[in-house]
Amino acid sequence: MSYIGSLDQGTSSTRFMIFDKAGRVVGQHQLEHRQILPKAGWVEHDAFEIWQRAQEVITGALKQADLLGSDLVGIGITNQRETIVIWDKKTGHPLSNAIVWQDTRTGEFLSALTPAQCKTITFKTGLAIAPYFSGSKINWLIKNVPEVQKAITDGRALVGTIDSWLLWNLSGGVRGGVHATDVTNASRTLLMNLETLSWDEELLKIFSVPIEILPKIRSSSEIYAKTDPAGPFGTAIPIAGILGDQQAAMVGQVCFDRGESKTTYGTGNFALLNTGTEIVRSKNGLLTTVCFKLGDEPAYFALEGSVAVTGSAIQWLRDQLQIISSAAEIEALAETVADNGGVYFVPAFSGLFAPYWRNDARGVIVGLTRAATKAHLARAALEAICYQTREVLDAMSADSGVKLTEMRVDGGITANNLCMQMQADVMQIEITRPMIAETTALGAAYAAGLAVKFWSGTKELKDQWQQSRRWHPTTTSELATTGFLTWKKAIERTLNWID
């Protein structure tokens, strides 16, 4: 019996999962790592600690499944996107802590860019000018860390997103490790040209990044290297799939065709719509990014929209207002009332993301009367998740000209059946949840498995995808009509709050 492994390196933890040919999990192990917060707005990780955790979870998952490294025919890597590491290729040591995607220290540098530079960056990359992406983080490390400057001068420095760091270490590190990344991760750096899928000279100049320190850009599904037998697998296994986490979830949800979309419900929401081989530039506040590139096949692109506060609004009701004692309780509480009683909750705790991009907005609860109860507020919180998701998906339809008929969902909140029914009603489309919940790790496993011919092609993967539940819209629901219009009115009340 053969298996595929998937190393899933996230913002708070690292896990290794082992899948069989049917996509079922046969072993897994997960460990957290430290969040380092040296100053307000700064978020760092110890890249060496992440590499240690990666080795530990690989060993732990193999032990749990009672398997050897030699039972795996390939492994994939998926990772938190945008987080950046610079290391010394001679010693293998990071030259500073990794700067995490959430880190905002480079805001000043970005606000000093000229309008012409900003226009060039957004057109070539499809991204927004934001500290979120990697380019300004690399610039900061080069300017502010003397060890980095010296290593670049000496020709010892390598830089990359977390996938590159893990690939280099797994494939031997100082003993000939491979320095590469895939197109999905490269597309999040502000340094890659979407049309050429290569590092762009003009962008490198804007961010003062020497091309010599960057990894080679490869597809999302090919054999990049083999694992070092001296490493945690104890044998040479093809490392054959790499994808950023949200793109990996698209592959795990088998959204291989134009017009297919998935939304991941977490602390916030990430929605991606496959636009096929066409680069669709958003006029509605969305990002354009690479969806995946499977081997020699053409790259597929996606529109991406993010909602800042969804699951964290439920945490707020639990931790700050204490109207529920666990996140799971919200469903039962919301079900005790037939509707929201006229109460609307816009959780714009730190402004609004797509499609508004308003930093001046703050959260509001409107429509309160003496009859309002905590159950109405619970229901309003679930509706807020659904309305915000609809606004992102409406923007995607407007940009792409694709009318969605179905949306695939994953993430913690999808266990809330009431919320998913509301989502179907708000959007008036069908919502489907997959049987296998670990879509991110599964996507990286699929990419690796395709490269080593463990699976014959995307058709086989589509055929084995199974839904655990499907929600059909209630055509008479007012959530999609008067409810949505009133939500828009509530949004207006959040604006211009911060001067």
- Kindly report the CATH number assigned to the domain that includes residue 26: 3.30.420.40
Alpha-carbon span 98 to 5, nearest angstrom:
25
Residue 178 belongs to some domain of the structure? yes
Domain count, the chain: 1
- 238 strand-pairing partners: 226
Alpha-carbon span 170 to 102, nearest angstrom:
26
Of 204, 285, 269, 219, nearest to 407 (Cα)? 269
Domain that holds residue 108: 3-247
Residue 22 belongs to some domain of the structure? yes
Residue 101 belongs to some domain of the structure? yes
Residue 222 belongs to some domain of the structure? yes
Residue 19 belongs to some domain of the structure? yes
pTM higher than the cut 0.85: yes
Q: Which two tokens stand for residue 219?
A: 């597809």
Q: Which two tokens stand for residue 88?
A: 């010394």
Residue 142 belongs to some domain of the structure? yes
Q: Going residue by residue through the chain (499 aa), what tens digit of pLDDT does each one get?
A: 899 999 999 988 999 999 999 999 999 999 999 988 898 888 899 999 999 999 999 999 999 999 999 999 999 999 999 999 999 999 999 999 999 988 888 988 998 999 999 999 999 999 988 888 999 999 999 999 999 999 999 999 999 999 999 999 999 999 999 999 999 999 999 999 999 999 999 999 999 999 999 999 999 999 999 999 999 999 999 999 999 999 999 999 999 999 999 999 887 889 999 999 999 999 998 999 999 999 999 999 999 998 878 888 998 999 999 999 988 899 999 999 999 999 999 999 878 888 887 878 899 999 999 999 999 999 999 999 999 999 999 999 999 998 888 999 998 889 999 999 999 999 999 999 999 878 999 999 999 999 999 999 999 999 999 899 999 999 888 999 999 999 999 999 999 998 7
Q: How far is CA 498 from CA 127, 350, 353, 361, in A?
A: 25, 10, 15, 7
Residue 477 belongs to some domain of the structure? no
Q: Which two tokens stand for residue 299?
A: 């790259």
Residue 98 belongs to some domain of the structure? yes
